[in-house]
Amino acid sequence: MHRSTEVQNLVVMDGKGWKPQYGISPEGVELLGYIEALPRETRRELVDAVARLCRQEGYLSLHDDLRAAVEKAADPRPPAGKVIPLFRKQRRG
């Protein structure tokens, strides 16, 4: 194996076990460090609580299956709407 091939195969991490291509912000990495230090049951409770709050606000997880949302967004039919007439028909007497 050539030296250049070895360098290309190196995995770059931030020193805390996260690859830059994961797209996790520095704040997120810091938060994850605290969460990982908690007991397993506490982490599970925290994840459940955060998930509830986020879903109530309309946020999705990076792990959510987005197929249903994408299919709904790709629906070619326009949403059904109510027609509001601009003018009323007047009866002539």
The number of domains in the chain is 1
Which pLDDT score is estimated for 25?
81
Question: Which residue matches tokens 């994408």?
Answer: 70
In a domain, 29, yes or no: no
* In the predicted structure, residue 93 carries a pLDDT above the cut 80: no
Q: Cβ distance 18 to 29 under 8 Å?
A: yes
In a domain, 89, yes or no: no
Q: What is the mean pLDDT of the chain?
A: 75
Which pLDDT score is estimated for 18?
66
pTM score of the predicted model: 0.48
- Model pLDDT for residues 16-53, shown as the tens digit of each residue: 666 666 677 888 888 888 998 999 999 999 999 998 99
Q: What is the residue range of 52's domain? A: 39-67
In a domain, 86, yes or no: no
Residue 16: which residues within 8 A CB-CB, separation 6 or more?
Answer: 29, 33
In a domain, 72, yes or no: no
In a domain, 20, yes or no: no
In a domain, 62, yes or no: yes
DSSP assigned state of 10 = P
In a domain, 53, yes or no: yes
